[in-house]
Amino acid sequence: MSEQRQRKELQEIAAHVVEVMDGLLYAMQKAAEQISSGWILEDIDDAGYHLYLARKDPKDRGSRAEAVMSTMEYDQFFHILEKTAAKKGLCLEEETMLEIELPGVEFEENMVTGGFEKYKGLAIEHHNKCLDELIVAVCDQLKKRGLAVACVPDEDVIFYMPVVQAKEGMRL
């Protein structure tokens, strides 16, 4: 498969991933709009999602709202990616490569052969270039919708949407 064709397919899959996540994205956008319009936190509709408010000073509940945030477990995010890719005919599991890093041999002065005195063991990693590229494509799609995304593998995916202030002097 040519690299340009693969990139186009990844973009299409990324667009479908964003569609699957549309409920969360809509809830975040609506909450950000409501906050910038001066709504109080208790009146904001979170549509059943766990939304968080990032403030300029986290200790001061009266400080300016900076962003609406949400998190998703990395495994849940990966499941969405995997399921959507599979529907489009891309099996991410087949793209995974096992990388093994062996310890280096040490050569010291007056040594005829190498030794493994500082042996730290083998390093074995699963590497999936296709998955990495798909995550980047999804993050690019989300960035176009006004979100910043941080992926912490095996932990969480954090979504961050800045709140646009309606008036400079208004405190939310």
Q: Is residue 150 part of a domain?
A: yes
Using the Cα atoms of residue 148, residue 152, residue 154 and residue 158 in order, give the sign of their dihedral. Answer: negative
Show the tokens assigned to 5.
Answer: 């064709």
What per-residue confidence (pLDDT) applies to 170? Answer: 43
What per-residue confidence (pLDDT) applies to 22? Answer: 93
Range of the domain at 67: 3-92+129-162
Instruction: Tell me how far apart the alpha carbons of residues 156 and 15 are, in angstroms, rounded to a whole number.
Output: 21
Count of domains observed in the chain: 1
Show the tokens assigned to 167.
Answer: 């008036």
What per-residue confidence (pLDDT) applies to 99? Answer: 67
Q: Is residue 109 part of a domain?
A: no
Q: Is residue 169 part of a domain?
A: no
Q: Is 81 helix (H, G, I), strand (E, B) or coil?
A: helix
Structural element, H or E, at residue 46: none
Instruction: Tell me how far apart the alpha carbons of residues 113 and 40 are, in angstroms, rounded to a whole number.
Output: 72
What per-residue confidence (pLDDT) applies to 72? Answer: 93
CB-side neighbour CA atoms (13 Å) of 28: 28
Q: Is residue 104 part of a domain?
A: no
What per-residue confidence (pLDDT) applies to 171? Answer: 43
What per-residue confidence (pLDDT) applies to 144? Answer: 92
Q: Is residue 149 part of a domain?
A: yes
Q: Is 171 helix (H, G, I), strand (E, B) or coil?
A: coil
Read off the pTM.
Answer: 0.71
Residue-level pLDDT, tens digit, the chain, 172 residues:
567 777 888 899 999 999 999 999 999 999 999 888 888 777 888 888 899 888 877 777 777 788 899 999 999 998 999 899 888 877 676 666 666 666 665 556 665 555 555 555 666 666 677 788 888 999 999 999 999 999 887 789 999 999 886 554 444 4
Instruction: Tell me how far apart the alpha carbons of residues 134 and 147 are, in angstroms, rounded to a whole number.
Output: 17
Q: Is residue 48 part of a domain?
A: yes
Which runs of consecutive H residues, i.e. helices, occur in 2-124? 3-20, 22-36, 74-87
Q: Is residue 20 part of a domain?
A: yes
Q: Is residue 107 part of a domain?
A: no
